[in-house]
Amino acid sequence: MLYIVVTPIGNLSDMTYRAVETLKSVDVVFCEDTRHSAPLLARYGVTTPTRAYEKFSESRLADKIADMIEEGKSVALISDAGTPVVSDPGNILVRKLKERGLPYTVVGSGCAAVSALVLSGFDPSSFCFVGFLPEKKVDKNKLLDKFIGLQSTLIFYVPPHDVTDYVAFLGEKLGNRNACLVREISKLHEDVITFRLPDIPPSATLKGEMVLVVEGAPAPALALNSLSLKEHYEKYLADGLSEKEAMKAVAKDRGVSKSVVYSGLLSDVSDVG
């Protein structure tokens, strides 16, 4: 399993017992900067081998770490401070593990919204916490009108008895977007259920504490296509897509093949659409 371990943002005494136990028990700890993390690990007597996991090497290392987990190894990921993935490396790795059906979890977070964002694998570069929706439909509509066009990832708290209605309403208002229901975070039956609004899988367990994460509004293709090819490609990389995924997205937006995008990037052509 991959353990995404939250570390203190300042005072090193803010480390949780479970975080320390996890770092001691895994086979390897991947750090945003091994030198920066060394004092924290030394303070808590963590002697587990460490390896660097910088942002620029994330795409290259994600498959290797997934292979380690598939082989039965336990791996921890920490950033210089705070929660990995949120403005730190980790999102590409989470997406890779989801793609390959491999287990991962968050250790040490005290915020359900942030933990759900990390576990969802959705774009963490910009997000908006909406919280619980109002009870009356007129108030729900009024609130959601503020967020329909927002391109940031949206995070909702969901009462267990209202999950189906919530999902149906959000599908009605936001359209057929990717969504992720994260339930029982850090508990025995933690679960991450990814689907498309409004069709929550009938087999999904709808019990316990839940957070619903929904992808932001899609960027207008025309606006993206007005960028240079390189800028268009780099926009998707910044959103957390891998190099392969970014190239595929650019090709789809511009209505061309991936080979055309690849050739254009090599020759720095600014417009292939």
What are 185-212's pLDDT values in tens digits? 999 999 999 999 999 999 998 999 999 9
User: Tokens 């009938």 appear where?
Assistant: 202
Helix (H) or strand (E) holding 263: helix 258-267
Total-model pTM: 0.78
Q: Is 114 exposed, middle or buried (0-12, 13-18, 19+ CB in 10 A)?
A: buried
Per-residue pLDDT, 246: 85
- CATH numbers and ranges of domains, the chain: 2-109 (3.40.1010.10), 127-214 (3.30.950.10), 221-267 (no CATH)
The pair of structure tokens assigned to 142 is 């009024």
Distance, in Å, from the CA atom of 20 to the CA atom of 83, rounded to the nearest integer, reads 15
In order of 61, 82, 172, 250, 271, the CA distances from 256 in angstroms are: 29, 41, 32, 8, 11
Instruction: Write the single-letter amino acid at 192.
Output: V
Q: Residue 268: its pLDDT value, please?
A: 53
- CB count in 10 Å sphere of residue 94: 25
| Whether residue 198 has a cis bond before it, omega within 30° of 0 | yes
CA angle 197, 240, 18 (to 5 degrees): 90
**What tens-digit pLDDT sequence spans the chain (273 residues)?**
999 999 999 999 999 999 999 999 999 999 999 999 999 999 999 999 999 998 888 888 999 999 999 999 999 999 999 999 998 889 999 999 999 999 999 999 889 999 999 999 999 999 999 999 999 989 998 998 889 888 899 999 998 888 999 999 999 888 889 999 999 999 999 999 999 999 999 999 899 999 999 999 876 666 777 788 888 888 888 877 888 888 888 877 776 777 778 877 876 544 444
Report which of 198, 211, 206, 112 is spatially closest to residue 157, judged by C-alpha positions: 211
